[in-house]
Structures are given as structure tokens and as C-alpha cells.
Amino acid sequence: MHDFCFKRGKLYCENISVASLAKKHGSPLYIYSHATLTKNFRQFDDALSPLDHSIHFAVKANSNLGVLRTLANAGSGFDIVSGGELQRVIAAGANPSKCVFAGVGKTEKEIELALKKGIYAFTTESEPEMVRINKIARRLKKKAPIAIRVNPNVDAKTHAKITTGTYENKFGIVFEEIEGVYKRAAKLKNLHLRGVQMHIGSQLTEAGPFEKAVRKVAPVAKRLAEKHGIEFFSLGGGVGITYESALESGDAKWWRSPKRRNLLTPAKYAAKLVPLLKPLGLRILIEPGRFIAGNAGILVTQVEHVKQTGVKNFVIVDAAMNDLARPALYDSYHEIVPLTQKSGDHLKKNQISSDVVGPICESSDYFCKNRMLAKVGEGDHLALLSAGAYGFVMASNYNTRAFPAEVLVKGSQAEVVRKRQPLRHLWASESVPKWLK
Ligand code: LLP
């Protein structure tokens, strides 16, 4: 369930019309729903309630301080992958002791910071990294809590660029070697072996691969608990969302498609996994990013021009691949809807096969190709749906384009949680060498 829907032909985020936000804050504009973030978090929390569990939102999916604080208030911990993300979590007023720190290449500085801030656990992905963490912990006279990431060699059946759980990927320790690695880790005096972790990929749309991986790793987790006293098993993230027909309710019934019914939900995920996990008696962690934030955000853009070439109808908008990189990177699908629906928009005769494209000089700068969309013209606004995860966080300043603004809506309140970047900031840290002057 999420809180973007049409009411009397106008797209709303909770109780505020998206058009009014675009008018006030300009475009491109990211808009997030507090209610959706919270509800999505609760779906996991409820589904896992039969287990001792904790949820660690994957900060990489959306690291805006307003979003992080929303989730911290709901009771979330965080999955971080850099010292920067740890500092963001702290800046948002959340507790570092609820952070797990993943990633294959943590620097000495990042490890030191995380130890000083007292994170819940590092997820280590290699033996050299374990040795490095142990060395830094010894210097700081601390014991570093760690989990080791196991690569269960299970195909997540998702996009090749976001699958992580097979031996083709750089992640984790080969399944067959994991117990040997724990044995060696146990000899490192400044490590506290606290858990075991896995993450097989992102945007999984069925529970099967999770189940397969848990069946494989659960017996190992049990032995590790007996031998080394580990207390948690983290399943990683990966629960997928619907990108097609993403609008949930309201009067736009025709946006819905039967595909929705097959969607993986936290309840379906838990129904398969809880029976396998409960007998372990371990604390279960999950690290969802996309499921919590994906459908809690949209990107609003304005049409600059419509250009017809004889074979194509190009809708040229003011957002581009630098604002939302997913279509260019993964050829991913984002539903595109006008902010104001005219009656009959859904009829084929009022639609036109369109390419919605940005102004950047690259053919990959597109949001959709040959898609039947209601006809739009200069000045109209469109919303790119399901843009709350891996949207703003992957934005760049390519073409010297400023980062868009971000707004968080809660009921009838809306607040800018990131100002549009002033253009001069783009070159503020640069200089012309004096020998060129
Ligand atoms: N835990 C670990 C260790 C991860 O590497 C990731 C995502 C997550 C949790 C969260 O996964 P989620 O629940 O969001 O699926 N930029 C890509 C997605 C990259 C995901 C990377 N790792 C995209 O836009 O689709």
C-alpha cells in the first residue's frame, strides 16, 4: 500500500496535491510519503513478529535525513556501506548502535569511525578485511562485533547488475569455506563473532531463491551458534516491488494490472522463511531498502517540448538520467503519469506512443521508449513513479546539472528536506591553477 493516488483526477501524495508541490518547489522534484515509508516498514515488522528480529533499512536506497529519521522513529536500524552513511545516520538523529556496516572495501578510517561510534556489527566479506578490523580494534583496545557474509551460491533470478549471491559475484565468502573462516576468525582476539549474513540480490519478485538460500545457510548458522556463540542471522535485503501499474488506490483503477497479484510481499516472504528460521533461536536481521522506500517516492518533471520526427513522439522533460539513473543503467521501467488526468486519457485514441527523454546529450538519457501515454504538451507535469529507492541517491551532476530538491509529505504537511542545489555549488570546490592565469 502506498499513498500516491488520484483523487478527482489529480495526483496526490497523502493529502497534498502533487501539482501544488511542483508549483511551489519547482522541478525536477523528488517527493516522499511519510505514511508509505512507515507502513512499508511496519509490514516487515509485523511479518517477522514471530521471531526475535530487527530491521535495518539499507541507507543506500535513500539516504535523505528526513527519510532516515522517519524510519528511525518507526524503530528501524540501518544497513550502511560507508563512513559517510554512518555520519548521515547520526546526523539524522538515529542510533549508531543499530547499524550494520557492509561492503567489500571498508577503509581503515571507516572501520575506526564505526568502532568509535559503537555500531552493532560489521559484515565482513573477506579474510584480509577481518584481519584489518582486528588490528584496528586492538589499537583502539576494543572488540569489534562482526558477522561474516556467506555467499550461498543461489541464483536470485533478478537483473544481472543487481544479483549478488552466486560465485560469479564479488560478494561474501564461498559457502563451502565459511566454517573454516569462522574458525580462523575465532583466533583473532579483538573480534567478537556476533552473526552470519547473506544477501543474494535485489528486486527479487519471488520467495523461492530466499527460501533456497535460507535452507542452505540455516544449518550452518546453527552450528556457528553452537561453536562460536553467534547471536544473529541476517538475511540481507532484496524484496522487490511493483514498478508497473504502481498506483495503489484512488480513482485511477485502469492503472492497475493483474501482474500486481503475483507480487512478493513481506507477508509472503515471512510465510516461507519464518518456519525455517524460528527453530534456530537466533535473532533475525533483514536489510530492506527498495521495499521500504521504492514506492514511497516519485520524481516530478515538467515537459519542456514535444518533438515529432515522423517515427517518434519525443516528450522532452526537465529531468534527466543524472536525476534518475535507473532506466539508463538497467533499462528499468518506471510508470509515468500526468499529474492531472483528463477524462478519456486511458482511451487508446487519446494516447500516443512516446519516448520520454531528458535534455542530456546521450541516447541513454530516456525514461521510457515507445510507451502509450496520454498526450501532453509544454508546461505539463509528469510523475515518474516508484522513484523513492535508488533515485536521488544515484543522482549526479553530469552536464553541470544541479541536484533536484526533495520534499517529505506527512498528511497535510510538506517540508523541503533537501533544497535544490544552487548551481554555483557545482564548481565551488574547483579552482583554476595559478600557472594558468
Ligand atoms: N543489503 C546489502 C548488503 C545490499 O547490498 C543491498 C543492496 C541491500 C541490503 C538492499 O537491497 P534491497 O532491499 O534494496 O533490494 N541500484 C540498484 C540496486 C542495487 C542494490 C545493491 N544492494 C537499483 O537501482 O535497482
The predicted-structure confidence for 313-369, as pLDDT tens digits, reads as follows 999 999 999 999 999 999 999 999 999 988 888 788 889 999 999 999 999 999 999
CA of 210 to the centre of ligand 1 (A): 14
Burial of 39 (0-12, 13-18, 19+ CB in 10 A): middle
Burial of 132 (0-12, 13-18, 19+ CB in 10 A): middle
CATH 2.40.37.10, the chain: domain bounds: 296-420
Ligand 1 atom at shortest distance from the alpha carbon of 240: 15
Residue 252: per-residue pLDDT: 39
Contact indicator for 149, 217 with CB cutoff of 8 Å? no
Residue 254: per-residue pLDDT: 35
Residues with CB under 6 A from ligand 1: 58, 61, 79, 102, 162, 199, 202-203, 236-239, 287-291, 326, 330, 389-390
CA of 237 to the centre of ligand 1 (A): 7
**pLDDT surpassing 60 at residue 272:** yes
CA-closest residue to ligand 1 atom 24: 390
Ligand 1 atom at shortest distance from the alpha carbon of 102: 3
Q: Please, which pLDDT band fits residue 169 given cuts at 50, 70 and 90?
A: confident
Ligand 1 atom at shortest distance from the alpha carbon of 332: 25
Residue 189: per-residue pLDDT: 98
Ligand 1 atom at shortest distance from the alpha carbon of 390: 24
Q: Which fold has domain 296-420?
A: Lyase, Ornithine Decarboxylase; Chain A, domain 1 (2.40.37)
**For the segment 29-40, what is each residue's pLDDT rounded down to a tens digit?**
999 999 999 999
Ligand 1 pocket test, pick from 163, 287, 396 with the greatest ligand atom count within 8 Å of Cβ, gives 287
CA of 239 to the centre of ligand 1 (A): 9
- The residues carrying an active-site annotation are 361
DSSP string for residues in 338-358? ESBPPTTTTSGGGEEEEEEE-
**For the segment 109-167, what is each residue's pLDDT rounded down to a tens digit?**
999 999 999 999 999 999 999 999 999 999 999 999 999 999 999 988 777 776 676 77
Q: What is the mean pLDDT of the chain?
A: 94
**For the segment 273-286, what is each residue's pLDDT rounded down to a tens digit?**
999 999 999 999 99
Which ranges in 290-383 belong to alpha helices (H)? Answer: 290-293, 326-330
**pLDDT surpassing 60 at residue 223:** yes
Ligand 1 pocket test, pick from 202, 204, 285 with the greatest ligand atom count within 8 Å of Cβ, gives 202
Ligand 1 atom at shortest distance from the alpha carbon of 289: 14
What mean pLDDT comes out for the span 301-319? Answer: 96
CA of 38 to the centre of ligand 1 (A): 19
Q: Please, which pLDDT band fits residue 83 given cuts at 50, 70 and 90?
A: very high
What mean pLDDT comes out for the span 204-223? Answer: 97
CA of 368 to the centre of ligand 1 (A): 23
CATH 3.20.20.10, the chain: domain bounds: 34-293
Q: Position 5: which residue type?
A: C
**pLDDT surpassing 90 at residue 2:** no
Burial of 428 (0-12, 13-18, 19+ CB in 10 A): exposed
CA of 289 to the centre of ligand 1 (A): 6
Query: What whole-number percentage of the chain has pLDDT above 70?
Result: 94
The reported pTM is: 0.95
- Looking at domain 34-293, does it have CATH number 3.20.20.10? yes
**pLDDT surpassing 50 at residue 18:** yes
